[in-house]
Structure 1
């Protein structure tokens, strides 16, 4: 590490600043100009690229106070996500809760600064003030020191880590496209009833409105072999069972990230299987979230705040799961109880009515949707491997423990994702 030296953040930047909240008049004017105003809440992860697409999807307000160039490094200074990072993919401005670090590309590689701060995040946030809420400030950030190599090495390190994040981002977008394909197909076939051969099938009345002849309405209790809450776990780091909780169910997917292990025996009915539908069933804000579980069928269960819905037959599990996913907004409204004690009762889930197609249509839908869902699974698993690889490499790269001049990134990535 002979070429590495300790340098303060302010010495690595041409400008360290924060934003503000514009007046409505200015905000309206700059909305016409199309200048994004990024709030600290948008820095929801440790490594986020604030591209124009993300900003548009997030529906951010707009202003032009302190316009910042592309590749500005952003750091949340206070609030629930203090210490979270992002970088700008477009010209933008930020609110007062963000520290914006603009680098001179002839002196400092912005990608390296981003990842160096990510690697030092715990140490940086450890300097924060406040008891109930941690707060950083420019006075704490500017003199904060990082180990920094020569510019060429910075650029190589930034390139390596950004390449991995770009792969993750590309896969994430592909997953979104595939998920929308599956949802669109479901809506076309089972909401608009424009499935193959629908032209020759008359519509008939039902309790849920007109449906194709031969189809029927049925409650979940008749379509599910199991509707049951999970276990009351006894948590243990070396426990045999992985327990999924409400934090694991988000964005219509299941994530093992927030899961924990427990050691109690688990009855067969509460051992979740691929194809089960999981529904968050307690608490304001999380109640009603739905996801189809497509992970391993051994050693996994859910806690008592999650309901398991298992279809009566594997042949209908894709249609059944996507039907429940399509009902998520309705399910979210079905909770009962006092504020803070709201819950989704088993009987309410069982009474939910679905329109069941004839067997041939269910089979045809599954035959098309199955490969799409499998591709999604592969991409999500690849991203888990890539994220783990990045997280292993990052602290070693930004402290000079790995010689980047001889690192073959393609070979390392290929080894991790195959």
Structure 2
């Protein structure tokens, strides 16, 4: 085993410092620090550079296996600190362009330092602690100098051991990534079927149904409240890292699937109907950027509730759950425009959600739709569980392999 400074064996590439004015509706996708989460990449809010900027920003284009380190963020002692967070570029973000406040690391010689091994080194607690403790600045805006990262002393095993360690750990990451891709395809399939049946009105037997003023016979106008057994904002938590209860927040609703990893522990008790259940719908209801975002709970979560910035919607009839969720998901772009209040403190009031009117299909059609969508929902639930187990197994094994406690 040899010891060498990271700066001697890695190239460091700063993220691009382009202006927000350069962004366009479609083009070259940009990866920001805000897209890099502990659980992976959150890609629901992506900005784009014009295709004509490809040559100008070529050095910021990410390659498969690149290691991204966030160099700006809150102090690591604070909850959800970004400073020092690392992510490894996978096929989902390969070819994206890295924005400022982050640095990309690449090995100079893959026969000295394996790129895959470098990715897992960046997640090793010793490396994380080293760079985070060298951050400077205010608690809510700390900056880690690239020169400090370069000073890290790597204890490198021989290249064959590096590659074996990377191979073992990447098997978990490959499983996680493949399941994430499956989930994305399943989500898209569910949304396409919803649009086909209830927007394009090509539901089973549509040829024999009379349509008057764009509304099929037998359909009726209802509000979201009419279809809900629970529609309410959450609690003001009493946070305690050792608390019995888990509470989700808006950070848990970055994608369609509610992500429990961004939750916190708290000790305040709450009514039984505020415990999250499978197929519950959760909506971001405070602030700009995330306001109106719609997610769904996949699986059951005992002792888990939601905070006051989240609105819970639960279908009145269990066999209406997927229809109600996909209706609200389809309405998400509209919900994101319905905030009230000042720009920096927008609210999506409960009354706005509950009073929103929709044209509701016949009971038989809703149940038929539920029968078609429920297998997709259950498959996603299973894949989410596999991802959770694979992530936990990888995270337990990583420090043991990196420290040499487990030999390869």
Bigger Rg over Cα? 1
TM-score (norm 1): 0.81
Structure 1 counterpart of 2:36, from 37, 44, 47: 44
Task: Give the direction of change, closer, same or farther, for the CA distance of 1:37–1:141 in structure 2 (3 Å limit).
Answer: farther
- 8 Å Cα contact 2:33-2:70 kept in structure 1: no
Q: Distance in 2 between matches of 1:62 and 1:396?
A: 41
CA distance in 2, matches of 1:92, 1:223: 41
> In the alignment, what sits opposite 1:6?
3
- 1:216 corresponds in structure 2 to 220
1:342–1:213: structure 2 CA closer, same or farther, 3 Å change rule?
Answer: same
Instruction: Quote how far apart the aligned CAs of 1:251 are.
Output: 1.4
Contact 2:253 2:293 in 1 (8 A): yes
Question: For the residues of structure 1 that align with 2:39 and 2:152, how far apart are their CA atoms?
Answer: 20
**Which residue of 169, 172, 189 corresponds with 2:197?**
189
SS at match of 1:130: strand
Work out the CA distance in 1 between the residues paired with 2:29 and 2:309: 38
User: Stretches of 4+ moved more than 6 A in 1?
Assistant: 88-93
How far did residue 350 of structure 1 move? 1.5
Could you tell me which residue of structure 2 aligns to residue 98 of structure 1?
Answer: 103
Aligned length, in residue pairs? 381
Cα distance, 1:382 vs structure 2: 0.8
Residue equivalent to 2:112: 107
Contact 2:68–2:103 (8 Å) recurs in 1: yes
Secondary structure at the residue paired with 2:122?
Answer: helix
Change (3 A) 1:118 1:217: same
1:12-411 alignment runs, 5 A limit: 12-13=9-10, 15-18=11-14, 41=33, 44-45=36-37, 59=48, 62-63=54-55, 65-66=58-59, 70=63, 73-76=66-69, 78-80=71-73, 81-83=82-84, 84-87=86-89, 97-119=102-124, 120-131=127-138, 133-205=141-213, 210-296=214-300, 298-404=302-408
CA contact (8 A) 1:275 1:317 kept: yes
Change (3 A) 1:171 1:305: same
Give unmatched runs, 5+ long, in structure 1: 28-33, 405-418
Residue by residue over 1:92-128, the C-alpha shift from the partner in whole angstroms, topping out at 9 and shown as x without a partner, is 9866652432331222211112211221123222223
C-alpha distance in structure 1 between counterparts of 2:261 and 2:279, whole Å: 20
Give me the whole-angstrom Cα distance separating, in 1, the residues matched to 2:278 and 2:153. 48
Deviation at 1:7, TM superposition (A): 1.9
CA offsets 1:39-66 (integer angstroms, 9 cap, x no match) = 55486146869xxxx9xx8645523655
* Residues 103 and 70 (structure 1), Cα distance of their counterparts in 2 relative to 1, 3 Å cut: farther
Deviates more, 1:277-286 or 1:147-156: 277-286
